Amino acid sequence: MQTTFRSATDLVRDMRAGSLTAEALMEATLDRIDAVNGQVNAIVSMAGRQDLIDQARAADRAGLTGPLAGLPIAIKDLANAAGFETSQGSPVFAGQIAAKDDIMTARIRQAGAIVIGKTNVPEFGLGSHTFNPVHGATRNPYDPARSCGGSSGGAAVALATGMLAIADGSDMMGSLRNPAAWNNVYGFRPSWGRVPSEAIGDNFLHQLSTLGPMARSPGDVALLLDAISGPDPRQPHGMAVSPTAPLDAAALKGRRIGWLGDWGGALDYEPGILDLCRRALDQMADAGAIVEDLAPPFALDRIWDSWITLRSWSVAGGLAPLAGRRADLKDSAIWELDRGLALSAMEVHRASVIRSDWFTRAAALFDSYDAVILPSAQVWPFPVDEPFKARINDREMDTYHRWMEVVVPASLLGLPALSVPVGFGAEGLPMGMQIIGRRGADADILALGAAWHEMTDWPGRRPALG
C-alpha cells in the first residue's frame, strides 16, 4: 500500500519501531501533495518543503514517542497554528499570521505531530461548501466539478486523497459530518465539552460548535480524539474523559439501532440517499444488530426554530466586531449577523427551552437504543460553482443552510455523532450516515463505527487522482 494511504496508527507504530522515519514519511507526504493538491486545492498556506523535512529529521533525532509522533497534519483554517496564516477564508483576515497556537493545535504538536499547513474552509466556516475569496474552492476528489462539502472540506479531501492520515475539523452544523460523507471518510462530532476550544469571549452560553477529528478509519479518529480531548482549566464546561484508543470494534449482535430516516416525512432527500443508508442498515442487521424504524421523537420544525435562533445568536456574537465592515462579509454572514443582533433575550430563552425539551426526549430515546441513525446529508455533492443548495427535489430552501437540516438534531444537543461512509450513488459520488449516541458515549459510538469499518472499508475505494 502507498505510504500516505496507510493508517495513522500503523504509521506511528512503524516510526516508533524504527522501520519508518518521520523524514521518509514527510517526503512521501509532500510528494503526494505535489501530485494531487493542485487538482483539488485542499491544503493551503503550506510551509516550505525543506523546513518541513528539517523538522521531521529533528523529530527522528529526538526520538518518536508521542501518540501522534512524526505524523504530518494541516490545521483547519479557522484555528490558529503559530507561524501560519489564519485567514478564515475571509479578506478581512487574509495574510494575518498567528502568533501562537490554539489549545487544540498545541495539543496536537505536544502529541508529536508536525504542522505542515492549513486546510481550506468556507468563508468564516459558514455553509457546507468550501469556497472563499482568499484561497478559492476545494473540489471533490470523486468529481472535481462538485462540492466537497464543508466547513471541514479541505480536511476531508486531504484524507480522501492520501495527503494526510489524520485531520482536525470543527462542527457546528455538520461541518465534520457532511464533508466526511461527501469524501468517503469518517468525521466525528464528539460530545460537546470533550474537546475545548479557545477561552475567548463568552465561555458559558454558547454550546453548539465543537472541534473534532477526521480520518479514514474510526481507529485513527480515536487516536486524534485522545490527543485533543480533556478539560481546560480556563473553561467551565470541560468534560473528564477516558481514552478511546486503541479502539476495539463493538460486537453488533444484539445492539439496538433506531432508524429515523426522513423523520416521518419532515426531511426531503435526493433520490438514492435513503436507499443507500437502508442497505447499510441491512448489513448491520445481518451482523446481528436489532434495527428498528422510529417514529419522529420530537417535532422537527421546533428543533429547526430553536437551532436557527441559537445559531444566529452565536454567530452574531463572533461577527459583531465586523459589523462595520459589511462590504467585506459574504451574504450568509450578513444574514446571520442581522438575525442575531435583532434577537431579544426572551427569544433566545424560548429557543433554549425547546432545546432542553428535546434533550429530555432524546435521553429517554437512548434508554431503549444504543444508537440512532440518520443520513449525513440530504443531497449529493452539487456543482462547485453553486454557493449553496437552493432546493431539494421540488422544495425550495428558505435559508442558505436548510438543505443540511438532517444534522441539526444531534448538533443542537451536543451529542456524539460519527459520519460513516455507506457507499456510492448512481453517479459515483460518496454518501455517509450518522451514528448518534447519548452525550458522553463517544467511545461506544466509535466502537460501533469500527465494527462497520471492519465489515466494509469503504475508504479503500479511492478517488482516481494522481
Q: Which residues are catalytic?
A: 76, 151, 175
Residue 418, beta-bridge partner list: 188, 435
Rounded CA-CA distance 173/404 in Å is 8
3-state DSSP assignment of residue 239:
coil
Q: How far is CA 10 from the centre of its chain?
A: 22
Examine residue 246 and say whether the peptide bond preceding it is cis (omega within 30 degrees of 0).
yes
Chain centre to alpha carbon of residue 131 = 16
- Asked if residue 166 lies in contact with residue 71, where contact means CB atoms within 8 angstroms, the answer is yes
Give the distance, in angstroms, between the CA of residue 62 and the centroid of all CA atoms in the same chain. 32
Q: Hey, is 292 helix, strand or coil?
A: strand
DSSP for 353-397, please give it: HHHHHHHHHHHHHTTT-SEEEEES-SSPPPBTTSSS--EETTEEP
The answer to whether the Cα torsion of 268, 157, 215, 460 is positive or negative is positive
Using CA atoms, how far apart are residues 169 and 211, in angstroms rounded to an integer? 6
Other C-beta atoms lying within 10 Å of the C-beta of residue 4: 22
Q: At what angle do helices 22-40 and 8-17 cross, to 10 degrees?
A: 150
Q: Which residues contact 434 (CB under 8 A, 6 or more apart)?
A: 177, 373, 374, 375, 376, 406, 407, 410, 417, 418, 419, 420
Alpha-carbon gap, residue 229 to 167, rounded angstroms: 14
Query: b/e per residue, 206-219, with b = 16+ CB within 10 A?
Result: bbbbbbbbbbbbbb
In terms of residues, how long is the chain? 466
Contacts of 54 (CB under 8 A, 6+ apart): none
* Cell triple for 260: 429515523
Is residue 1 within 8 Å of residue 457, measured between CB atoms? no
User: Cell 460486537 sits at which residue?
Assistant: 251
What three-state secondary structure class fits 88?
coil
Q: Which helix (H) or strand (E) holds 205?
A: none
